[in-house]
Amino acid sequence: MNVFLAELLGTALIILLGNGVVAGVVLKGTKNENAGWIVITFGWALAVTFGVYAAGKISGAHLNPAVTVALAATGQWSEQFTPETLPLYISAQMLGAFLGASLVWLFYYPHFKLTEDTEAKRAVFCTAPAVRNTAFNFISEFLATFVLLFGLSAIGANQFADGLNPIVVGALILALGISLGGTTGYAMSPARDLSPRIAHAILPISGKGHSDWSYAWIPVVAPILGGIAGAFTHQLLF
């Protein structure tokens, strides 16, 4: 139960802060309206940093089904993370992401009413491609998550001062957002995209449009495959 709660609350914190910064930038009438992509990437990096701090000592802070599946595929089990607890990790991550997205909607409730752009409202919850091209959108998410898992594996293989690892992970997320996030929004996690997309679909959001389900499979499938490939590649090389 402690592992379940750590993954649930850690993921919820990431989505609350990460989708929260998106809401602040794209919704009308906020103090940070139109602050831009750099603010979003820094916000997401800090969100992941504090999510990892919150859950790390209890669950190992996967906070992402792509991470969990990649670690399972490469046999990187631990005292907390076993084949029996794998479904527990993923269910906690999915529920936590839904909770975090719902809290963002509640927090910014008046601003959703002020905003007419339905795509901006959906962007608070889930990703969308800058240029819609199925093959290249898939490649973007695959490669970004490949780098994520390769990078996490490299971070885990190095010695840092006690408590520094989450900051280094946050720096990796910042690098991914600035360098590889501009094409699809660097979901890199089925929980980060699918659960908030479901929240967008079912919450009574003022004036919302469709939830873009035709695109939804890409930020689910591509991160899982890219994450497995990244973890395997690091294991083979090092």
pLDDT one-digit tens code per residue, 3-54 = 999 999 999 999 999 999 999 999 999 999 999 999 999 999 999 999 999 9
The domains located in the chain, with CATH, are 2-237 (1.20.1080.10)
Q: Any idea which residue has 């390769």 for tokens?
A: 150
Nearest 5 degrees, angle CA 136-CA 120-CA 124? 85
Two tokens, residue 77: 């089990």
- Cα separation values, 83 from 6, 52, 109, Å: 18, 22, 40
Are the CB atoms for 208 and 118 separated by under 8 Å? yes
Question: Which position has the token pair 């794998």?
Answer: 86
- Give the pLDDT of residue 161: 80
pLDDT at residue 216, rounded to an integer: 98
CA distances 233 to 48, 150, 168, 226, 227, Å, are 24, 7, 20, 10, 10
- Specify the pLDDT at position 148: 98
Looking at this protein, which amino acid is placed at residue 22? V
Q: What is the pTM of this model?
A: 0.97
pLDDT at 96: 98
Torsions phi, psi of 146, nearest 5? -55, -50
Which residues lie closer than 8 Å to 99 by C-beta, 6 or more apart? 8, 12, 15
DSSP secondary structure letters along 69-99: HHHHHTT---SS--TTTHHHHHHHHHHHHHH
* Regions in the chain scoring below 50 on pLDDT: none
Task: Write down the pLDDT at residue 160.
Answer: 84
Distances (CA, A) of 230 to 89, 132, 154, 198: 20, 25, 10, 28
3-state secondary structure of 132: coil
